[in-house]
Structure 1
Amino acid sequence: MTITIVLDPGHGGHDPGAVAKGLQEKDVALQISLAAAERLKAKYEGIRVLLTRTADVFVPLPERTSIANRERADAFVSVHCNAGGGAGGFETYMYSRSANPNTSELQRVLHSEIWRRINPIGVDRDRGPKKADLYVCRETNMPAVLIECLFIDVPADAERLRRADVLDALADGIAAGLASYFGLTSDNQPVSVRIEVNGKYVANGDAIDGRTWGPARIVGEALGASIGWVDRTVTVNGVKLPTRLIGTAGWVPLRPLADVVRARISWDGKSNTVKLKM
């Protein structure tokens, strides 16, 4: 039996959503959703992951829910950023009148899996699981949850939404929450690792199949390398490296990257950290 999941990046096109601190909600929501979809597809079999949009286009609310209902989705997750000032923080929503216990369980596991990933990296306010009369949650025929990924107009939250590790953690949490809800398992599931360059944290990576992968542009540029893209392949100082596409970012194995730029690379097993040093 195939499980169908619909991810819904909020807003898009002429509707930017909340706009503040140089960020637009539509862009952040799409980046997180694409990354979550990529993680689900890469780690688990027997699932079908659909998105209501994969580019900067406007999709009306009725069309979003129609996609999920027409495809007979088993779960619907709408991804947004909050606004309104105050102290900021993270929260999730389900339809206030939902009588389906599966909806509250989906909300519980999503909220928990996301929070336990973003709290250790500096997100310090959990506003809790909530209920409201939200269109996309009300008009879908399956368990549906809307996620508010921090406050785009709160300075501290806006800075967090610019950080690769926070965006990665939000995407990881969405994927892990859905996997937990459906009881999905993977024999080849990546282990999250921390990547440091010259003693400074730069990004999260994945250890899988005996290799540690990381986002090429973030890690490479931190090492002073020139990063390119040729025929869907990342180049580092003109050298093509094995490439995985995670969301919209090209990831490469870190040891070959280190070899190209002549950086020293080491592994700290106690902290699950790859350390690169020029």
Structure 2
Amino acid sequence: MKLYLDPGHGGTDPGALGNGLREKDVNLDIALRIRSLLVTNYENVSVMMSRTTDSTKDLQQRTNEANNWGADYYVSIHCNAFNGTARGYEDFIHDALSDATQTARYRDILHEEIAKVNQLTNRGKKKANLHVLRETTMPAVLTENGFIDNSQDAALMKLSTWRQNVAQGHVNGISRAFNLQPKQTSNPPGTLYKVIAGSFTDKTNADERAVFLQSRGIDAFVITTTISGRIWYRVQAGAFNTRENAEQRLQEVLNTGVDAFIIVE
């Protein structure tokens, strides 16, 4: 399955603004998490992204790229804005399509899975004559993940745990719609995968790193280890029984700009 994943806006186009957030940043963060979850956990899935950084790309470039690649599905990630009072989740397919089309059936599945986990008011399934829905040659959906100018929705958007859940909802929908098969993994009994987000000789620096990660919604604390007779202060951002869960947390930490790695014990 070939997924074209399109985090809306970017570069010179910030998208909607509100409550200290820029839509382009939220879109990209969610999309990167979707890609990570899909390629880590499922067999035979390829993901191409319209952008993986804060770069500028026009709509025609995005749809041309997806069409030329021969994508099986086009998913465009967005946030909404209106007047500060509207809130909630909604998604769109092209308005020329009937509810009996394959595009609508895919959208129905994604809508159900995303709405289960996003903690947002469900504004329903909608249709519109949008470029990315009109000019794509494959089924396409555009998701609007909350209103960035609404203080309640924005408070959720600021949480890395919320963005991870929204990404997981998209992945759950895509995996159902396309019958993706989970990767077969083996985790030896008693194995523990720890995510380490920095090692310091100065405990103050370790404490600061832990506080920073906690401010981004990631549980973290300082542990000590002795290497060649010297005490090191490590920042641990989770310990997991499966490699898959550790990789997911690792991506969350990396998305904050902090270098991290996994150790196996």
TM-score surpassing 0.5? Answer: yes
Deviation at 1:98, TM superposition (A): 2.3
Deviation at 1:94, TM superposition (A): 0.5
- Structure 2 residue matching 1:225: 3-state secondary structure: strand
2:85 aligned with 1:86: yes
Identity of aligned residues (%): 35
What residue identity is the alignment partner of 2:58?
P
2:43 aligned with 1:45: yes
Q: Which residue of 1 aligns with 2:105?
A: 105
Q: Which whole-Å CA distance do the structure 1 matches of 2:50 and 2:183 have between them?
A: 29
| Cα deviation digits, residues 163-191 of structure 1 (max 9, x gap) | 122101110011111100001121548xx
Q: What 5-or-longer segments of structure 1 have no aligned partner?
A: 190-207, 227-235, 257-278
**C-alpha contact (below 8 Å) 2:196/2:235 kept by paired residues:** no
| 1:105-254 aligned within 5 A | 105-119=105-119, 123=120, 125-188=121-184, 211=192, 216=197, 218=213, 223-225=220-222, 237-238=233-234, 244=247, 245-246=250-251, 248-249=254-255
**C-alpha contact (below 8 Å) 1:12/1:57 kept by paired residues:** yes
Q: Which has the higher helix share?
A: 2
Larger Rg: 2
Give the number of equivalent residue pairs: 224
Q: Which residue of 1 aligns with 2:62?
A: 64
Q: Which whole-Å CA distance do the structure 2 matches of 1:239 and 1:88 have between them?
A: 37
Q: What 5-or-longer segments of structure 2 have no aligned partner?
A: 198-209, 224-231, 238-242
| TM-score (ref. length: structure 1) | 0.71
Deviation at 1:117, TM superposition (A): 1.2
**C-alpha contact (below 8 Å) 1:213/1:251 kept by paired residues:** no
Deviation at 1:87, TM superposition (A): 3.1
Picking from 53, 56, 77, the partner of 1:55 is: 53
Deviation at 1:255, TM superposition (A): 9.6
Q: Which residue of 2 aligns with 1:24?
A: 22
Q: Which has the higher strand share?
A: 1
Q: Which residue of 1 aligns with 2:75?
A: 77
What residue identity is the alignment partner of 2:81?
A
Q: Which whole-Å CA distance do the structure 2 matches of 1:98 and 1:209 have between them?
A: 52
Q: Which whole-Å CA distance do the structure 1 matches of 2:51 and 2:91 have between them?
A: 21
| TM-score (ref. length: structure 2) | 0.75
